[in-house]
Amino acid sequence: MAASLIAYPFGPAGRELPRVGQGSWQIPERGAAAEEAKLALRRGIELGMVHVDTAEMYGDGRAEELIGEAIQGLPRVELFIVSKVLPSNASYQGTLRACERSLKRLRTDYLDAYLLHWRGSQPLADTMRALEKLVDDGKIRSLGVSNFDVEDLEEAEEALERHPIACNQVLYHPWERGIEHRVVPWCEKQSVAIVAYTPFGRRSLPDAATPQGKLLSELAAKYAASVHAVILAFLTRRNGTFAIPKAASIAHVEANAKANQFRLDDAEIAQVEKAFPRPRSAELRMI
């Protein structure tokens, strides 16, 4: 497991975390499926995927409630819980209030990171000021952003006075590598962690008979892992990039956790990069 740890925020002051964590968008909200999703989340934590991502938007707070239930009794210090404020709530006071609501639903005293979900119409400086106050007050351990291109990152950085941007959570999967042109180099230079959302691209994986599918299957066989784990290992090949797949079953969680146990070598990374080429455009896309 040690080989898979990287610092978050990326840089010397960061806490070490496994590269692959867990998402929670569209987690089943009620009934037996919700119970299974909670067990799956706990299994993931047990397997080291302690970085749990959520947002006030997911199920209108229901995802946060389910995570709050799932983590009851676990040592809080070992977890890394991240939530996000909706742009429409991201005024100065609105951000402070939204954070309190998230803490309550998650049944915790603090968040490890709190992010602006995407840039909206509220002045960015007001949101950043609120996030800094939340760090000062001990309600959040770090602050971050999501779906931010370089110009937005620069503006956020400019607005911050006391605390750095810990992470930028962005769409990143093998078919969507546009962030590698500008966003990744900027974040690496500034020690801002990249957190890859929708790592499987919400699409069918390539058939094993195609060159892409064959390559992924061969790598999966070599590492006794699934194709999904190979994709996660590929996305998190750089120090400073995490991934947060969402899985609602124990089988999927166990498959994803495998990605924290092996690293693709340079030649394999080059093969995957060639099979899933970068787009020409550096445009930042959102789901």
Ligand X SMILES: NC(=O)c1ccc[n+]([C@@H]2O[C@H](COP(=O)([O-])OP(=O)(O)OC[C@H]3O[C@@H](n4cnc5c(N)ncnc54)[C@H](OP(=O)(O)O)[C@@H]3O)[C@@H](O)[C@H]2O)c1
Of 244, 259, 272, 284, which lies in the binding site for ligand X, with binding defined by CB under 6 A?
A: 244
CA distances from 147 to 16, 47, 101, 227 (A): 23, 28, 23, 26
| Contact range with ligand X by CB under 6 A, out of 121-129, 159-167, 180-188, 191-199 | 191-199
10 binds ligand X (CB under 6 A): no
Element (H, E) at 133: helix 124-136
CA distance 174 to 277: 8
Footprint of ligand X on residues 144-183 (CB under 6 A)? 146-147, 169
**Of the candidates 262, 75, 285, the residue with the CA atom closest to the CA atom of residue 198:** 285
Binding mask 40-79 for ligand X (x = CB under 6 A): -------------x--------------------------
CA distance 138 to 44: 27
25 binds ligand X (CB under 6 A): yes
Write down the catalytic residue from 8, 58, 114, 223: 58
| Contact range with ligand X by CB under 6 A, out of 6-14, 150-158, 184-192, 193-201 | 193-201
Binding mask 196-225 for ligand X (x = CB under 6 A): -xxxx-x-----------------------
**Bridge-based pairing state of the strands 15-18 and 5-8:** antiparallel
Length in residues, the chain: 287
Of 137 and 152, the one with the shorter C-beta distance to ligand X is 152
CA distance 187 to 275: 25
CA distance 136 to 142: 10
Of 20, 124, 255, 284, which lies in the binding site for ligand X, with binding defined by CB under 6 A?
A: 255
Of 91 and 198, the one with the shorter C-beta distance to ligand X is 198
DSSP letters spanning 111-173: BSEEEE-S--SS-HHHHHHHHHHHHHTTSBS-EEEES--HHHHHHHHHH-SSS-EEEEEEE-B
Token digits for 102?
Answer: 């998230």
Is 58 an annotated catalytic residue? yes
Of 89 and 270, the one with the shorter C-beta distance to ligand X is 89
CA distance 83 to 198: 16
Binding mask 77-116 for ligand X (x = CB under 6 A): ----------------------------------------
Shortest Cβ 189–ligand X spacing (Å): 22
DSSP letters spanning 83-109: EEE-GGG-SHHHHHHHHHHHHHHHT-S
| Contact range with ligand X by CB under 6 A, out of 87-95, 128-136, 213-221, 246-254 | 246-254
Could you give the residue numbers annotated as active site?
58
**Contact residues for ligand X, defined by CB under 6 A:** 23-25, 53, 117-118, 146-147, 169, 197-200, 202, 226, 228, 244-249, 252, 255-256, 287
